[in-house]
Chains A and B, each alone.
Chain A
Amino acid sequence: MHHLYSSLFKRPFLWFVILLAFLCTGQPKAIGQTNTKGIDFFSGVDFNFRDINYKTQYEFLIRLSPGFKWSFGDHWQISGQVFIPIVNQYGNSYKYVHLNIFDLSKELRLGSLYLKASAGLFSSSRYGLDLKAFLPLCDWFAFEGQAGVIGSVYMTPYWEIVAPNRFVGTIGGDFYLPRWNTQFRGTIGKYIYNDFGFEMEIMRHFNHATASIYGRWNNYDKFDAGFRFVIALPPYQRKHRMVNFRPASNFRISYTVMYHQYTNRMYRTDPEENERDGWFSRDFLQWGSHTMEPDFRIIEMNKKAKGDKE
């Protein structure tokens, strides 16, 4: 038995086979909610700055982040994002236009368990398989977890690819206080650079923005802390057709006191993933900030056109 356990842990890919098998067997019971079909093209700005030497005030890395999301029903989605450097003071490895995200994902529900499986290229130069789970127990408490089998791919002119050989994951819980639109999130995990740690975040959700402070610990760099803003970008009223062009849904900026670049880090599987909205789409999971007034009022032009004809 001991041998079985150790071989499982040494071969993280097996974990994913088991998870996928679980998903496949559960699929007939899945309750899907039809999301709106269409393809969205959008662009935002990836804004980074750091203060790590005395030669300059700050070093900046500003990149355009155009992307797309193609939803083809029943919460299947293909998404992609490219980073185009505009200002780069971070060094040569950041000067290239490169693909940041390109993956296929599917949201599904098994009873009260919400799942999102993704496969492809993720952010932070990682690729592989990822499964996110969210289990709301009541309006104010939920468990969450994420697991992935990942390899790394660096798309500089000299491509560097490492096969998926790393098992990463986080598990934790979320408290949400509806009266104050305040969320407490705590997770422990094994992160993409093989470090272990935990993170606590307190989020205050406002009308179109979320502000949070967080503290975290890991076995390499120890303590760090910072704050974060996620701002939903206007226009807040949008028309939705089969093909849409729009600004990015949000601008996210995160500040860390200690600049621990290689610890407590996970990848993202969605170009617009952020702490305000969580992992799941709003029409799929109504919990936490998704119970607030929506940031965007979407007018469905396809349905309207059909309605006109009828």
Chain B
Amino acid sequence: MKHFNIIIVLLLLWVLPNNSKAQQYTGTSGLIHIPSAEMHHEGDALIGAHFLNKNMMPDIGFLYNGEKYNTFDYYVGLTPFSWLELSYVCTERIRSKDSQGNIKWSKDRYASVKIQPLKEGKYYPAVAIGCNDVWTAAFYKDRPNVQLYYMNLYIAATKHFIFSNNELGVTLSYRHFYRDYNSKWNGIVAGITFRPAFFPQARLIAEYTGNEFLLGMDMLLWQHVRLQASMKNFKYVNAGLCLQFNLLGKKYLY
């Protein structure tokens, strides 16, 4: 039983076959819990949901009776231009439970923006800047009673290296959460990705979030179903599924 989670993730990784480059639970591109400078294709629209292990949640805001709990979020995302990504995310919070254990939920909502001012070149990396919870950041960030569970700013650089048609991606980002309770994820964060030549639709990910290591994999099935599964510290599973459509009618292998 100890390795049950690992077996599930490995099964998912092996069974589920197309491209992903998503920090999927935010509806934008990235790795698992850290942003990258990669972008979705122009015209990509996403709608999906993600199971979030309690160990992935901010330290306050998602507590019930003083304890963290597993939850999920859902989102829509759009890449209107090759250099711009937008998304809108609702994360479920337990508001109350009755004596029968029925849960009443509320939501934490945030919008994300990601801009890629520099595309990747032969000798230099792509660079992107972004912000989660833009609306709150713009209008409410100076009010101490307004919680900014996901509000962060980042700058990321990503470079890919090709060898024998395999693709190795290296990402280095600097991220800053606005509130102290997420400071464990502040500073330099980094990750590597590997896309095998024999199966380029899939991508293996390893990353350091500033506080923990995550391993995972993502892929795009049948050009429309995007999946991501990951583990934090080899123990705690997160997984999500979203539907993806290219509104320009283009088809991509990944």
Contacts and interface: CB of A to CB of B under 8 A. Distances in A.
B248 A207 contact: yes
A57 B105 contact: yes
Given A206-B43, A225-B135, A51 B107 contact: yes
B106 A211 contact: no
Contact of A211 (B80, B107, B109): B80
B95 A227 contact: no
A44 B135 CA distance: 33
A257 B135 contact: yes
A180 interface: yes
A204 interface: yes
B117 to A, nearest CB: 17
Nearest to A212: B80
B249 interface: yes
B247 interface: yes
Nearest to A180: B81
A211 B104 contact: no
Contacts of B249: 207-208
Interface residues of B, number: 19
A274 to B, nearest CB: 16
A207 B249 CA distance: 7
Contacts of A54: 95, 104, 106
B45 interface: yes
Contacts of A204: 80-81
A23 interface: no
Contacts of B45: 209, 211
Contacts of B86: 213, 227
Interface of B: 43, 45, 76, 78, 80-81, 86, 88, 95, 104-107, 109, 135, 139, 247-249
B78 A211 contact: yes
Contacts, number: 33
B57 to A, nearest CB: 19
Interface of B is mostly: strand
Contact of B247 (A57, A206, A227): A206
Q: Which of B76, B80, B107, B109 is most buried by chain A, counting CB atoms within 10 A of its CB?
A: B80
Interface in A206-265: 206-209, 211, 213, 223, 225, 227, 255, 257
A213 B76 CA distance: 13
Contacts of A209: 45, 247
A211 B247 contact: yes
A55 interface: yes
Contacts of B139: 223
A257 B109 CA distance: 9
Contacts of B43: 206
B135 A206 contact: no
A103 to B, nearest CB: 32
Contacts of B135: 225, 257
Given A54-B95, A180-B81, A206 B248 contact: yes
Nearest to B250: A207
A278 B109 CA distance: 31
Contacts of B106: 54
A180 B43 CA distance: 11
Contacts of A55: 104
25 contacts: A51-B107, A54-B104, A54-B106, A55-B104, A57-B105, A180-B81, A204-B80, A204-B81, A206-B43, A206-B247, A206-B248, A207-B248, A208-B247, A208-B249, A209-B45, A211-B45, A211-B80, A213-B86, A225-B135, A227-B76, A227-B86, A227-B88, A255-B88, A257-B109, A257-B135
Given A204-B80, A209-B45, A227-B76, 5 more contacts: A54-B104, A182-B80, A206-B247, A223-B139, A255-B88
Interface in A45-82: 51, 54-55, 57
Contacts of A211: 45, 78, 80, 247
A136 B135 CA distance: 34
B83 to A, nearest CB: 11
